[in-house]
A = this chain, B = another copy of it.
Amino acid sequence: MNEFELIDVIVAGLGDSATGRWLDVGPGDDASVSTLPPGTQLVSSIDTLVAGRHFPGDANPADIGFRAMMVSLSDLAAMGAEPHIVLVALTLETADPAWAAALAGGMSEAASQTGAIIAGGNLSRGRLSLSMSVHGVVPTGAAVLRSGARPGDLVYVTGPLGGAAAALANGFADEELNTCFFRPAARVDLAADLRAVASAAIDVSDGFLQDAGHLAAASGVCLDIEVARVPVRSGAQLQYALQGGDDYELCFTAAAPPPFPAVCVGRVVDGSGVLLDGEPVTTAGYQHFA
């Protein structure tokens, strides 16, 4: 099977998620062509997931595809953006059509759940990795940045943390925790409400304390977190909720209670960094070159 035949297999596996609505030219030309809704801005991010580093290379290909898509879309969720298009750059070791079709099926499932359209991609040969370039839209001026938190705001997270890190620590022996790792939900479902209420937001990808530190630094404030309030995924330990990454819930700040379920974990105060029960923390999360 040559490169172009394999691309056909992948595009077939994407099904309806590679066509429709705002996508005027989809996979097959030099580039895609899409139309943004009037009065919107383009919100863009890219993520790379490398086998053996970000996911086990022998995992179910549908899970690999689903997770890669959701992990990447999570950055749009953190901006309060609604998904527009995704470009997928696949680097594969072999031309296994069944494996590639399953991978495409997982990506398609995640795209369908979030309203994203897969507009194009690239196929290379090499060590297994996926780069997902994700693009969303927000009404002009409405993007939620990391930098808007102000003293007096409260700090929220959108769901329980630590499940993905616990799954990894357990060697993927616990089916329920595995779902946290392989089937995360990018919280793009909250986009409109987040834009309405949040002063700042970030997705919890590198670990809650580290990501809270990024938000604090960007806003020039201190996040004062009460450890007992941090929601811990059933079956996970507190340590994973605080320092483990890969949960893809959102951490955000707001001056008013949000109109969706979220857990208040602390407040924004003058200063810098993150306090955990009043003690400064040197945030530790996942760093690729540490």
Instruction: Report which A residues bind B (CB closer than 8 A).
Output: 1-4, 6, 24-25, 28-36, 41-50, 53-54, 75-76, 78-79, 81, 85, 87-91, 94-95, 119-127, 129, 131, 133-136, 138, 140, 143, 145-147, 201-203, 218, 287-290
CB distance B29 to A91 under 8 Å?
A: no
Work out how many copies of this chain go into the complex. 2
Residue from B4, B140, B218 in contact with A35 in the complex, judged by beta carbons closer than 8 Å:
B140
Tell me which residues across on chain B come within 8 A of A134, comparing CB atoms.
31
Q: Is the CB of B25 within 8 A of A33?
A: no
A289, B35: Cβ atoms closer than 8 Å: no
Give the CA-CA distance A78 to B35 in the complex, in Å.
19
**Interface majority SS on A: helix, strand, loop or mixed?**
strand
B44 contacts A32, C-beta separation under 8 Å: yes
Closest chain-B Cβ to A203's Cβ sits at a distance in Å of: 6
| A138: chain B residues within 8 A (beta carbon) | 33
Q: Which residues of the partner chain B approach A88 to less than 8 Å between Cβ atoms?
A: 46
- Among B28, B33, B36, B288, contact of A125 (Cβ-Cβ < 8 Å): B288
Indicate whether A123 sits within 8 Å of B288 (C-beta atoms), given known contacts A44-B135, A131-B89: yes
